[in-house]
Chains A and B, each alone.
Chain A
Amino acid sequence: MTQQPSGTKQTGTIAVKRGLAEMLKGGVIMDVVTPEHAKIAEDAGAVAVMALERVPADIRVQGGVARMSDPDMIEGIKDVVSIPVMAKARIGHFVEAQILQALGVDYIDESEVLTPADEAHHIDKFAFTVPFVCGATNLGEALRRISEGACLIRSKGEAGTGNIVEAVRHLRSITGDIRRITQADSAELFDWAKKLQAPLPLVQEIAETGWLPVPMFCAGGIAGPADAALAMQLGAESVFVGSGIFKSSAPEKRAKAIVEATTHFRDADILAKVSRGLGQAMTGIGMDQLTTKLADRGW
């Protein structure tokens, strides 16, 4: 064997952080509140779990301040599954993020589902070894999060509603603007950066590559296999499912069906097969009945 080269080992690099997001593509990340839920998620073929104390639907109903989960609860979930474990920190709450990194979670979601801790600043995500995912409702928001160090973007949708309409709006907004930017000339890109309130180099990169510099997944409102496949056909590269699984009447079956639908998202025969006999979906909420729109949190 040839001589080993002398490059030093590096952790927490952009390649390593974005790399894990690449590995999660074509998969389903499921919200879980107990180790039992986490096992069900892994059994069903989830690529990762999001450990939290209350699913968004319950946060909506119960109100109050929603914070990072208890470390014991996160450790309990880490102990029972072998897939990556994610956890949520409040927007701008970099100390919650420091704690989650110390716990060894695999991804931090700086999430609008929790009550924001800072009304102007998001976390400086470059300061961490652990990678971050952040939500976005439009391309400008996505690029601001990427410029702060987010290595994965999820369209926000409206968490805890079981209603896909906001996710569709956000996905279409992001992918539509990406398509328009690829048609823009070099002078127009300055105007795009201004309109999006986003760094010019990221806008120029999109013009060249036709995609975000990090993967984009979908979250917020996925209640069944058809919703997951819709998000994938609209350009999402994976899906987060929160309340949609464990607020339904048959979580195991529904979780498996959503996993199949995310892989075979263009195969209507498979989608028809896995959509059968799933019992009751979560009841869901219409957007006109909402008093708080979580997607409005984030700046």
Chain B
Amino acid sequence: MRVGVLAVQGAFARHGAALAELGVEPVFVRTPAHLVGVQALVMPGGESTAMSRLLMTSGLFDAIADRLNDGLAVFGTCAGMILLAREVLDGRPDQRSFGVIDLTVRRNGYGRQVDSFEQDLAVSGLEDPFHAVFIRAPVVTRVGSAAEVLAEYEGIPVVVRQGRVTVTSFHPELTEDHRLHAQFLQEVG
């Protein structure tokens, strides 16, 4: 299976390493040409404003939007969640998102870096808790009826799925626990 990792900026190498450990060779996507033949896509953590700009200048935004319309499976973490959400609060006016999961998210909703934290979470479908690392993380402020909440922290959704789109507020790419990546690959099948 060809799994792309959006690599315009951010923690793409860590996602790539997680996929490689699961036996999938990642394809790093920086231009539309890299998207050819990709059967699933990961959008990493990073700075969503910088990523949004680089998606536009590279022509990747429209190319990815087309593939998402055709049902491309996608897994977005932190900034990736912001890029996939329907509505983004506290973003830049020129910031774009794909709007393929019916969520409203607030950028840096958990605060600045000094508020960044680690926390064990229960996640639907995983037997044992998942150790989650939140970094200047987005807060989900609204979940549409079509979206399914797979994990919460203090009553706020932190893992959400809608069809072939899965997003997390935290960074599964920063730990050695690849169960969420494995779950994503299984769904893509």
Contacts and interface: CB of A to CB of B under 8 A. Distances in A.
Interface of A: 1-13, 15-16, 19-20, 22-27, 42, 44-48, 82-84, 101, 104-107, 129-131, 259-260, 263-264, 267
B62 interface: no
Nearest to A85: B112
B12 A16 contact: no
Given A9-B118, A10-B117, A130-B114, A47 B124 contact: no
A215 to B, nearest CB: 10
Given A22-B45, A106-B113, A263-B9, A82 B135 contact: no
Interface residues of B, number: 51
Contacts of B12: 25-26
B57 interface: yes
Q: What does DSSP make chain A's interface, helix, strand, loop or mixed?
A: loop
Contact of B50 (A101, A129, A259): A259
A4 B122 contact: yes
13 contacts: A1-B149, A4-B121, A10-B117, A11-B114, A13-B118, A16-B113, A19-B116, A20-B113, A22-B45, A27-B9, A42-B49, A45-B50, A106-B136
B47 A27 contact: yes
Contacts of A15: 118, 133, 174-175
A45 B124 contact: no
B116 A47 contact: no
B21 interface: no
B45 A23 contact: yes
Contact of B133 (A3, A16, A107): A16
Interface in B104-119: 107-108, 112-119
Given A2-B124, A263-B8, A23 B114 contact: no
Contacts of A46: 50
A16 B47 contact: no
Given A82-B92, A107-B113, A129-B114, A5 B54 contact: no
A1 B152 contact: yes
A257 B34 CA distance: 21
B7 interface: yes
B45 to A, nearest CB: 5
Given A16-B113, A25-B46, A48-B47, 12 more contacts: A3-B122, A5-B122, A11-B117, A15-B118, A22-B174, A23-B78, A26-B7, A26-B8, A26-B10, A27-B9, A101-B114, A267-B31
